[in-house]
Amino acid sequence: MGIEDHSGLIDRCAERIACEIAVVGSGPGGAVTADLLAKAGRDVLVIEEGPLVPASACRPYSRDEMERKYRNGGVTVGLGGPKVTYAEGCCVGGGSEVNAGLYYRTPGDVLERWSREFRIEGITFDHLAPHFETIEKQLGVGETRGEISPQSAKLREGARRLGFSSLNSLTSFRAGAEMATAGGTADGDGQRASMSRTYLRWALDAGARLLADTRVQTLRREGDRWRLRVLHGSRGATPRRVEIAADHVFVAGGAVQTPALLRRSGIKRHVGNSLGLHATLKITARFRDEINRGNGGVPTWAIDEFAPRSYFTCAVSSREYLALEMLQYPEHFDEIEHNWRRMGIYSARVSGGRGYVRNLPGFRDPLVWFRLSDRDLAELSEASQQLGSCLLAAGAEALFPSVVLGGPIESAEQLSRLARLPRRATNLMTIHLFSSCPMGGEGTPCPTDSFGAVRGAEQLHVADASLLCTAPTVNPQATIMAIARRNALHFLGAL
């Protein structure tokens, strides 16, 4: 069940609200934090900028869902070289309401490097293993059952023909078949175990309150409490100003919005200076046979032959998403009308690029700037050629990369056109943002300590992807949730 009728929802609020703990943001990090704190008997208020959108309100992976659940329709552009479009969930439950529910534990060597280079206490794989195990049990994480989709089968076939290692990713869908519907519970009904169906619901059951459609503008410290200046009904025509007083604040707005809020509040030292991303280049492939069922789900097959340097995956291939990708090929746009059932979107992802987050006077959203090095682009170029080889080996007739090349790629020989990715003509995207407020021990240039407390700001914490020290190399949601759980238990004195 969803939470749209839960008594913990605040529809109308007074001009002043008091709570013990305010959690700003309701995505994976904020939801896990709120659940643990509420179950410990603490007075918790969850504040979410986006609206509450019931799972049944819009079709999964449709234009309507993009407009209602994503910030800026899912197409916010980060400046720099090359241009990167990034997506942020902006609704109750955050990105968990729109993502694929894929689940990967952080590789042990990544955690060992964080522990060593950033001097973080209790961050090794052995330290995080109990948190991963608990989350996996709570969400019912496992392999999807039944036959894989035709789109996944093409990626698997290409990998087999070229001798590449590949796998079926773990997921929290727990569906009876690979392509699942949106919404989600963890009880095996074939739906996504999103935060609104799991941790947020459990937090409200434990006594937490939820204030949606509410934007936190600034935080300020007054005496021994935090004062949050917010706009309730922030998307409406006449938003109301509200002040929230809290003893403790956990900011979990995501790797862009969290540093933006801290900086608006005058907390700037090392904040927003080290934004990281998984840079992704997409390739739309047209095959001879039908591969697209049209139900909008995310196929879960992945090629990990070149991990951790790069991963190749399937992507959402609904007609709306195909249309967005084919805008780069206007002379072939009619492919969507005639051939969409034979088309699928695939992606090559590398861990590269750094950026920063800054607020601009008069603008609601912050400026995000990315820069990929020549080495990053070279790795992405190699990865895109390898992915293209797999798709051609699986029988693709034409490839449409998100690079302005003058036309599709129709043979292995033409893959050499991807050997150099021009910065101005390459259109990248990412749904994985992190590291803008990284954790670190004493003596490191990190704005938060080993457990997410903001340095120089009493009783203020970060609880989202901002905390990750560098690229986790895998889908970051499991990492975010495990670290949020670890840090919340530390806050409660249970570690």
CA–CA dist 363, 370 (Å, integer): 19
Structure tokens at 92: 């109750």
pLDDT tens track for 168-212 = 998 886 443 333 333 332 223 356 789 999 999 999 999 999 999
pLDDT at 372: 94
| Closest alpha carbon to 280 in 212, 377, 366 | 377
Residue with tokens 């238990």: 489
Residue with tokens 């801290």: 262
Residues 102/381/367/74 CA torsion (nearest 10 deg):
-40
Amino acid identity of residue 410, one-letter, is: E
Total count of residues recorded for the chain: 495
pLDDT at 297: 67
Q: Check if the beta carbon of residue 171 is closer than 8 Å to that of residue 165.
A: no
Domains defined along the chain, listed by start? 16-52+95-140+193-268+439-491 (3.50.50.60), 143-182+275-430 (3.30.560.10)
Which residues of the chain are under the pLDDT cut of 50?
A: 174-189
Contacts of 42 (CB under 8 A, 6+ apart): 20, 21
CA–CA dist 84, 76 (Å, integer): 9
DSSP per residue over 225-262, as a string? Answer: EEEEEEEETTTSSS-EEEEEEEEEEEE-S-TTHHHHHH
| Closest alpha carbon to 197 in 363, 39, 52 | 52
Residue with tokens 């019912």: 140
Phi, then psi, of 403 in degrees rounded to 5: -135, 135
CA–CA dist 434, 431 (Å, integer): 10
pLDDT at 81: 81
Q: Show the CA angle centred on residue 316, arms to residues 282 and 169, nearest 5°.
A: 95
Residue with tokens 């919340």: 488
Q: Known catalytic residue: 131?
A: no
How deeply is 139 buried, as exposed, middle or buried, from its count of CB atoms within 10 A (0-12, 13-18, 19+)? buried
Structure tokens at 351: 């861990």
Q: Check if the beta carbon of residue 98 is closer than 8 Å to that of residue 30.
A: no
Residue 265 burial (CB count, 10 A):
22
Of the listed 131, 232, 432, 461, which one is catalytic?
432
pLDDT at 237: 64
pLDDT at 187: 29
CA–CA dist 495, 474 (Å, integer): 26
pTM of the model: 0.94
